Amino acid sequence: MSNRQIFLADIPQGKLGHEHFVIREADRPCPAEGEVLLRTLYISLDAASRAWMQGATYRAGLKVGDLMAGMALAEVVESRSSQLAVGDLVFAETGWQIFAAVPAGNLVKLPRIEPLTHLISVYGVPGLTAYFGSLECGRLKAGQTVVISAAAGAVGSIAGQIARIKGCRTVGIAGGAVKCDLITRKFGFDASIDYKAGNIVDNLRAECPDGIDVYFDNTGGDILEACLFNMARYGRIVCCGAVSQYDRSASGAGPQGVPGMVIIRSLTLQGFLLSDFLDQQERAIADLKGWVDSGQLTVREEVIDGFDRLPAALVGLLEGENIGKRMVRVA
Ligand SMILES: NC(=O)c1ccc[n+]([C@@H]2O[C@H](COP(=O)([O-])OP(=O)(O)OC[C@H]3O[C@@H](n4cnc5c(N)ncnc54)[C@H](OP(=O)(O)O)[C@@H]3O)[C@@H](O)[C@H]2O)c1
């Protein structure tokens, strides 16, 4: 079977579209000594992949002609390393392609937890990001009021549920009535705010009359600004991501309220990357699995079939189509 790959045909200046990608056939790669040949099973769709097109972030920026970057749950189909055997599962930077030859050295064999998709959602990047962001950076305490943006998304839906499990009052911010209804009904948030309708500053004030103790920020931009003006004294803002700033050519002006509100309310802003907590993943997965198995944590996934649908799936994610973790099933 030959390989199929998706390259960046152009760097978007405004919104990402299908025209920025090109699909090509190629020969299946041969692994060199120390490498494994991976077949991608599920390719993860991540909001941050659009930010990689804006320039260097925590990784090198993408350029025209690059293989589209991305992580996948993949199976070893050929091994030239003693570390991994045929049939082993890994989560790897494969890029958007069906076959990838990658060094085995940095790969970790994953347990075959069923359904396998949970390895990409709740036990993968979104679940772990929600876990460490909430508990290590947010330092949640029972009784606190916690606000989460992009609350119907992969990270946000889990962050909100962790806050509820920890005894906090949870307010989710999402786009549209359908998502707002879902986050209270399905994910158990105490309240929701539709940032596309009404005045978000006023709505936050109404839902959080004593102020926000912890804001888990997935969006940056106007929502961050609205939260800044509603924070309780000594509140914490967990800077997880800034999705409102990704699907554009350059970052806009920063939110008002920095540093003013940060000083007046004695706030703490803490950014983090999941990679800061690599050594603690085992404990996190055990906790997340306990909550899933006991029914306290609902996992929502969107599996789209077909490798060629990757560009549309990413464009749609940035437009807010997704609920929960979006991925594309390749095989
Ligand atoms: N720090 C880390 O290590 C780390 C790791 C993983 C992810 N992240 C960050 O976590 C955040 C969520 O990522 P994800 O992969 O879980 O994506 P996601 O939340 O599943 O999907 C993105 C969502 O963002 C919302 N959105 C898009 N444009 C928006 C805008 N202009 N204003 C407000 N909301 C907007 C959309 O929901 P609506 O319909 O509600 O608008 C969309 O569904 C991102 O900022 C990402 O960069 C950080």
Q: What is the pLDDT along the chain (331 residues), one digit of tens a residue?
A: 799 999 999 999 999 999 999 999 999 999 999 999 999 999 999 999 999 999 999 999 999 999 999 999 999 999 999 999 999 999 999 999 999 999 999 899 999 999 999 999 999 999 999 999 999 999 999 999 999 999 999 999 999 999 999 999 999 999 999 999 999 999 999 999 999 999 999 999 999 999 999 999 999 999 999 999 999 999 999 999 999 999 988 766 789 999 999 999 999 999 999 999 999 999 999 999 999 999 999 999 999 999 999 999 999 999 999 999 999 999 7
Shortest-distance atom of ligand 1 to CA 129:
5
**pLDDT the model gives residue 1:** 75
State in Å: Cα 206 to ligand 1 middle. 24
**pLDDT the model gives residue 184:** 98
**pLDDT the model gives residue 281:** 95
* Ligand 1 pocket residue status of 125, Cβ below 6 Å: yes
**pLDDT the model gives residue 252:** 67
Domain that holds residue 203: 125-275
Query: Residue 33 to residues 7, 84, 103, 173: CA-CA distances in angstroms?
Result: 26, 12, 9, 49
State in Å: Cα 153 to ligand 1 middle. 6
State in Å: Cα 109 to ligand 1 middle. 28
Query: What own/partner pairs with CB < 8 Å and gap ≥ 24 does 65-69 have?
Result: 65/7, 65/8, 66/7, 66/8, 67/5, 67/6, 67/7, 67/8, 67/95, 67/96, 67/97, 68/6, 68/7, 68/8, 68/21, 68/95, 68/96, 68/310, 69/93, 69/95, 69/96
pTM: 0.97
Same domain, 69 and 193: no
State in Å: Cα 246 to ligand 1 middle. 9
* Ligand 1 pocket residue status of 45, Cβ below 6 Å: no
Same domain, 103 and 133: no
The total of other beta-carbon atoms located within 10 Å of residue 71's CB is 21
Shortest-distance atom of ligand 1 to CA 241:
45
Residue 291 belongs to a domain: no
**pLDDT the model gives residue 3:** 97
- Residue carrying structure tokens 């991540």: 46
Residue nearest to atom 44 of ligand 1 (CA): 241
* Ligand 1 pocket residue status of 126, Cβ below 6 Å: yes
The residue among 259, 275, 291 that closes a domain is: 275
Tell me the C-alpha distance between 4 and 51, whole Å. Answer: 24
State in Å: Cα 149 to ligand 1 middle. 8
* Ligand 1 pocket residue status of 159, Cβ below 6 Å: no
Looking at the 3D structure of the chain, how many domains does it have? 2
Residue 197 belongs to a domain: yes
- Residue carrying structure tokens 């290590």: 136
State in Å: Cα 66 to ligand 1 middle. 24
Shortest-distance atom of ligand 1 to CA 152:
40
* Ligand 1 pocket residue status of 177, Cβ below 6 Å: no
**pLDDT the model gives residue 106:** 84
**pLDDT the model gives residue 253:** 73
| Residue at 124: amino acid letter | G
CATH number of the domain within which 239 lies: 3.40.50.720
Orientation of helix 200-207 relative to helix 221-228, angle to 10°: 50
The answer to whether 96 touches 44, Cβ cutoff 8 Å, is: no
* Ligand 1 pocket residue status of 182, Cβ below 6 Å: no
State in Å: Cα 318 to ligand 1 middle. 8
Residue nearest to atom 8 of ligand 1 (CA): 241
Same domain, 32 and 158: no
Residue 319 belongs to a domain: yes
